[in-house]
A and B are shown apart, each in its own frame.
Chain A
Amino acid sequence: MTAVLEISGLAKTYRSRKGVRRALDGFDMVVEAGQVHGFLGPNGSGKTTTLRTLLGLIKPNGGRMAVLGREVPRHLPEVAGQIGAIVESPQFFPHFTARDTLSLLADAGGVDRHRVVEVLELVGLRDRAGDRVKTYSLGMKQRLAVASALLKNPRLLILDEPANGLDPGGIREMRTLMRNLAESGMTVVLSSHILGEIQLICDSVTIISAGRRVAAGSVADVLAQHKSSSVRVRVEAGVDLLAVAQALRTAGAPTVELEQDYLMVSGVDRPAWITWALAQHNVWVSELAPVEVDLESVFLQLTGTAPVAGENRQVDQTAAAPAALQGGWGQ
């Protein structure tokens, strides 16, 4: 497979009167052709900054980037026609209609105006296309933004939080749309905070935290790498759970967590071993259910953003990347 998007060692420092802020600190990312790629990270971790840099809107302080095999920002004008993008709820001139907005973009980019009707239909704005953007709801503006990104019929589609403000039906439509686009050969990069959504539609993900990559790869790989699977264990009523947990620990189970009326056991190779170990103590298992790890818990673990009772986590309190994960160009 070929990489449609490669980023290596990207660095960006914002300077303002208040001082400097390292938004990106040696960030790497690779997206293969034809994939739907999830770009995840806590608030302020640098997702939008990465996408802006990639699209030539801001200047990086270091690092290399390539899109569709061309180095950017130097060769951006050559590939810009093949990148459709929305960056963080784009704004439109409020007094124009959706149709005017898109047809002006189409004119500026040399795209046939027929395409305007097509994309408006695609995002469900056909009947409201003659209304001024000012009168649109949040979700409708978001749909218009997606329409503007699709207008060029791009090879690479970059969407920064496209689901922002969409209704449940809209989110599902977006999901189908992404899949269809990917099947037609388009590569989609999707930043989102709705991890259930990402897990459903993405082939691969990159997780960023504090301006660095903390995980990357196919969804299955990331899940497998980062949390040993757990098993939920219930025993017959009336048995002392505390004693059972103790017994399992002495028998060699790495982690046993005591919950309300069951145990969570993780780090065990074969779940069947648990039945055996408990049978030794004359305790009979009534339920043994492997618990699927989900992207959300992996995300929270990797980025160190899991809520802690009694604390108000501040936006910049995130986990920094372990050094081993810092990859090089083209990795």
Chain B
Amino acid sequence: MSLYKAETRRLVKRRFTRWLVIGSLFALAAVAVGTAVTNSKVGPEQIAAAQAEAERYYQESVRYAEQDRLRCEAAKGTPEAGQYPADCGQMYTPSREDYGYQGYMTPTFDFREEFGNMVVTLAAILALAAFVIGASYVGAEWSTGGMMNLLLWRPKRLQVLTTKLLALLVSLAVLTVLTAVAWTGAFALIANLRGSLDSMTSGAWQSFALMELRALGLVLAAGAIGFGIASLGRHTALALGAVVGLLVVFQFGLVTVLSMAEVKFAEAWLLPIWVMAWMSKTVTIEDFNSCNYSADGCRPDQLTLTWPMAGGAMVVAVVLVVGTALWTMRSRDIT
């Protein structure tokens, strides 16, 4: 228990942790503020304004069409006639239906429609932060000799490493839960002021709650994987950044090569697709090179990634990385 407390204190005391958390919260705040600014409530005034706007565009376009027609008439018998149809009356004339006022409304924040994307944003930013925090926390311990010092006090290596991991995960969970609550509150407020919450049913709330729970899972998995990799490699965050960069490049390289080789569903090798599958429950990849004839033409082959698949992959990755880190820790020489 004392070790757990000390490790939590160490984690929270680190400036890197603090700055990264503050930075992430800042990014999230920017998203929320941006959403608030670009959306507005729908009322009779807004509709009237949009209708006026639509009417203005319609009139303008009618004017242009009329000018065009006149030019067409004038060109008759000159070499320029080829640019116009033979019958100038056939030319395009705009209709009122093309200028519906909906297209001229300032956007409004429909909570039910849009909050899902916001949860994905939250999960992505926090997961990235968790990965880097987890990696730098234990990586710095290894590279500065802090781990060795600690082991002189607590020789049970596995206990030390698992306690560190636990301290990390609990701190990340607290951070994620608090942020998610604030996030939900902020967007409910935005919807209230600049959109609507009307379509939210209790089922919809529940579904968002579950989505946030999956976001928590993603954040914890990212933290654990960062922690495991850095502990295995005993390197600092900087070196880790290089590794991550390489992985990203490698991933896109792999996908490029695979799609050149016309391997089916090459996108399935991209990590973000799996994150999307986990967060939004399903992602469907289509193979546009294939064709299944049906009544309404060509249907491409489809591959559906579901959240249990993504969750399973995540668990396997965590177990593999953390397990290897622990196993290596058990017997390695610490010099």
Residues of A within 8 A of B (CB): 14, 52, 55-59, 73, 76-77, 80-81, 83, 85, 87, 90-96, 100, 104-105, 107-110, 148, 152
Question: How far is A105 from B160 in the complex, measured between Cα atoms in Å?
Answer: 13
Question: How far is A90 from B6 in the complex, measured between Cα atoms in Å?
Answer: 20
A57 and B149 form a contact (CB under 8 A): no
A104 and B151 form a contact (CB under 8 A): no
On chain B, the residues within 8 Å of A109 by CB distance are: 2, 153-154
User: If the complex has contacts A91-B145, A92-B145, A95-B14, are A57 and B6 also in contact, measured as CB distance less than 8 A?
Assistant: no
The interface centre, meaning the residue of B14, B331, B335 with most chain A CB atoms within 10 A of its CB, is B335
CB of B23 closer than 8 Å to a CB of A: no
| Binary contact track B312-335/A, C-beta < 8 Å → 1, others 0 | 000000000000000000010111
User: If the complex has contacts A92-B144, A96-B13, A107-B6, are A148 and B155 also in contact, measured as CB distance less than 8 A?
Assistant: no
CB of B150 closer than 8 Å to a CB of A: yes
The number of chain B residues with a CB under 8 A from chain A is: 28
Distance of A1 from chain B, by nearest CB (Å): 26
CB of B9 closer than 8 Å to a CB of A: yes
Question: How far is A76 from B7 in the complex, measured between Cα atoms in Å?
Answer: 22
A110 and B144 form a contact (CB under 8 A): no
User: If the complex has contacts A91-B145, A92-B145, are A56 and B6 also in contact, measured as CB distance less than 8 A?
Assistant: no
On chain B, the residues within 8 Å of A81 by CB distance are: 153
CB-CB nearest in chain A for B8: A107
Question: How far is A110 from B2 in the complex, measured between Cα atoms in Å?
Answer: 6
A93 and B148 form a contact (CB under 8 A): no
CB of B118 closer than 8 Å to a CB of A: no
The interface centre, meaning the residue of A90, A91, A92, A108 with most chain B CB atoms within 10 A of its CB, is A108
CB-CB nearest in chain A for B6: A107
On chain A, the residues within 8 Å of B333 by CB distance are: 14, 52, 57-59
Question: How far is A152 from B149 in the complex, measured between Cα atoms in Å?
Answer: 13
A108 and B2 form a contact (CB under 8 A): yes
Distance of A226 from chain B, by nearest CB (Å): 32
Question: How far is A267 from B179 in the complex, measured between Cα atoms in Å?
Answer: 83
* B131-160 residues at the A interface, CB under 8 angstroms: 140-141, 144-146, 148-156
On chain B, the residues within 8 Å of A107 by CB distance are: 2-3, 5-6, 9
User: If the complex has contacts A80-B152, A108-B7, are A100 and B13 also in contact, measured as CB distance less than 8 A?
Assistant: yes
Distance of A245 from chain B, by nearest CB (Å): 52
Extra contacts besides A55-B152, A80-B154 (18): CB < 8 Å = A52-B335, A55-B151, A55-B155, A57-B148, A57-B152, A57-B334, A58-B334, A73-B155, A76-B155, A77-B154, A80-B153, A87-B148, A91-B146, A92-B144, A92-B146, A95-B15, A107-B6, A109-B2
CB-CB nearest in chain A for B7: A108
A57 and B151 form a contact (CB under 8 A): yes
User: If the complex has contacts A91-B145, A95-B15, are A77 and B335 also in contact, measured as CB distance less than 8 A?
Assistant: no
B3 and A108 form a contact (CB under 8 A): yes
19 A-B pairs, CB-CB below 8 angstroms?
Answer: A55-B152, A56-B151, A57-B152, A57-B335, A77-B156, A80-B154, A80-B155, A87-B148, A90-B148, A92-B146, A96-B13, A100-B13, A104-B6, A105-B153, A107-B5, A109-B2, A109-B154, A110-B2, A152-B153
On chain B, the residues within 8 Å of A80 by CB distance are: 152-155
On chain B, the residues within 8 Å of A77 by CB distance are: 154-156
The listed residue (A85, A91, A95) touching B152 by CB distance below 8 A is A85
Distance of B151 from chain A, by nearest CB (Å): 6
B335 and A90 form a contact (CB under 8 A): no
The listed residue (A14, A94, A108) touching B153 by CB distance below 8 A is A108
CB of B10 closer than 8 Å to a CB of A: yes
CB-CB nearest in chain A for B14: A95
The listed residue (B10, B148, B152, B155) touching A104 by CB distance below 8 A is B10
On chain B, the residues within 8 Å of A14 by CB distance are: 333
Question: How far is A83 from B151 in the complex, measured between Cα atoms in Å?
Answer: 12
A59 and B331 form a contact (CB under 8 A): yes
On chain B, the residues within 8 Å of A73 by CB distance are: 155
Distance of A203 from chain B, by nearest CB (Å): 25
Distance of B310 from chain A, by nearest CB (Å): 36
On chain A, the residues within 8 Å of B141 by CB distance are: 93
